[in-house]
Amino acid sequence: MALQAGAAQMNITPKLGTSLAGYFSDRKAQRVHDELWVKALVLDNGEMAIALVVADLICLEREFIDRAKSLIQQRCGLPPESVLVSCTHTHTGPATVSVLGVEQDREYVEWLVPRIADSVQMAWQNRQPAQLGIGVGREERVSFNRRYLMKDGTVRMNPGYLNPDIVQPVGPTDPDVMVLRVTDLEERNIAIYTVFALHYVGAPSHDISADYFGFFAEALQRFYGETFVAMLANGCCGDVNNIDVYHPPRRKKPYEQAKHVARVVAAEALKTGEFVEFTQEVSLAASLEELTLPLRKPTEEQVRRAHEILANPQNYSATEVVYAREHLKLLEFPAQVTTPIQVLRVHDAAVVGLPGEIFAQTGLDIKAASPFPVTFVVELANDWVGYVPTGRAFEEGGYETWLARSSKVAPGAAEAMVEVALKQLRRLHLGQ
């Protein structure tokens, strides 16, 4: 049976006064600059159906994603392994997890769960005869590895513009602009699912904003129409951002850089999408495997030091206080965590979902070894286990490895994710 596809989006903007995620201190939302959305694309070939979901959130733990998937299965019949839910990682959205200086807004997350299911249900109801095409563009001007080797031998994140002690970046970026474009049979546009590996850009600290992901959608909707669902998922960018330390920028207005990044990525996605070859006969398959990862714990010395700092926090920096709290919080965590690694087949391409902030090298390793000619690798998918540095990055050190709820998996996690993803990719490629 030929392809049917549907897309939809739900507004998930929180109320003013909510705690905002992603910083070392609790910020309250004072203004909505632009709305937050959860967007869904359903593909159904009559024998199999899958859903791709992207939410304008910093991240979301599997407890809540699994509950949303359960609702989706009840309403649409889609099993959990057929639904991939990822987050964009905007830092101007609600606090959906407890980490660093901010505690989770539980009321918001409870409200959110059925909204995720609603988006898929509406996309399911919107199914119509469709065709899709897949392409890969390239954009190298706006993403930079943010970890640098310094002259003293250390590795630092964001060491500052024109810092004379910089030697070189220690990791790559992934410039691929991955595009899955869906239209009806008259080539009227339904949706685009794009993956690009780049951290959020940033916005005024008390604003609610989808960051460049929202401006990307606005740019494509101006071209394709307001009913078009433009989805931008995040690739493996745990060590990648938009800061070019070798070229200091001129002073910019709020959101100017985010809009610039959005326009650049949208232009490449648009160009790539215009040249895809469409097909109505689309094979679909899904796989999900659980991966158990050991967690790091603070040492006795770190625990002693944490108690010392928290006994007189006024004598220490805000960063020291935050990490002292994090070390004590980690004592409450189990010795290991089990998390999902997901692979979807879409025609002659695959979509891999990884559950954390994944380094660019990990995504590149999966793409290089994948048996599929095109492999989308999406981070912050189906769960959040924090940063997942490569083995080499753990040896180098730096912010992404500092022990906290935001960086708790043990060395070897990234390599284990690659192994489990590749096993599923090979199986789906063989049609098993």
Q: What is the pLDDT of residue 1?
A: 61
Q: 3-state DSSP helix/strand/coil percent for the chain, to nearest 5? A: 30, 30, 40
Phi, psi of 334, rounded to the nearest 5 degrees: -70, 175
pLDDT digits (tens, 9 = 90+) for 377-418: 999 999 999 999 999 999 999 999 999 999 999 999 999 999
Residue 33 near residue 77, CB atoms below 8 Å:
no
pLDDT digits (tens, 9 = 90+) for 391-401: 999 999 999 99
Tallying the residues shown for the chain, one arrives at 432
* pLDDT higher than threshold 70 for residue 190: yes
Comparing CA positions, the residue from 92, 89, 73 lying closest to residue 81 is: 73
* pLDDT higher than threshold 90 for residue 431: no
Q: What is the pLDDT of residue 179?
A: 99
What is the pLDDT confidence band of residue 432, given thresholds at 50, 70 and 90? low
Q: Please report which helix (H) or strand (E) contains residue 352, including its range.
A: strand 349-353
The rounded mean pLDDT for the chain is 97
* pLDDT higher than threshold 90 for residue 108: yes
Structure tokens that stand for 384 in this block: 């959040």
Give the Cβ contact number of residue 353 at 10 Å: 25
Phi, psi of 213, rounded to the nearest 5 degrees: -65, -40
HEC string of 123-139 equals HHHCCEEEEEEEEEEEC
What is the pLDDT confidence band of residue 180, given thresholds at 50, 70 and 90? very high
- Domain spans of the chain? 4-283+338-384, 298-332
pLDDT digits (tens, 9 = 90+) for 128-142: 999 999 999 999 999
CA contacts within 13 A on the Cβ side of 213: 36
Let me know the angle formed at the C-alpha of 140 by 411 and 37, rounded to the nearest 5 degrees.
Answer: 75
Comparing CA positions, the residue from 296, 225, 357, 236 lying closest to residue 217 is: 225
* pLDDT higher than threshold 90 for residue 226: no
Q: What is the pLDDT of residue 55?
A: 99
pTM of the model: 0.97
Across 322-337, average pLDDT: 98
pLDDT digits (tens, 9 = 90+) for 43-87: 999 999 999 999 999 999 999 999 999 999 999 999 999 999 999
Q: What is the pLDDT of residue 292?
A: 99
Residue 309 near residue 316, CB atoms below 8 Å:
yes
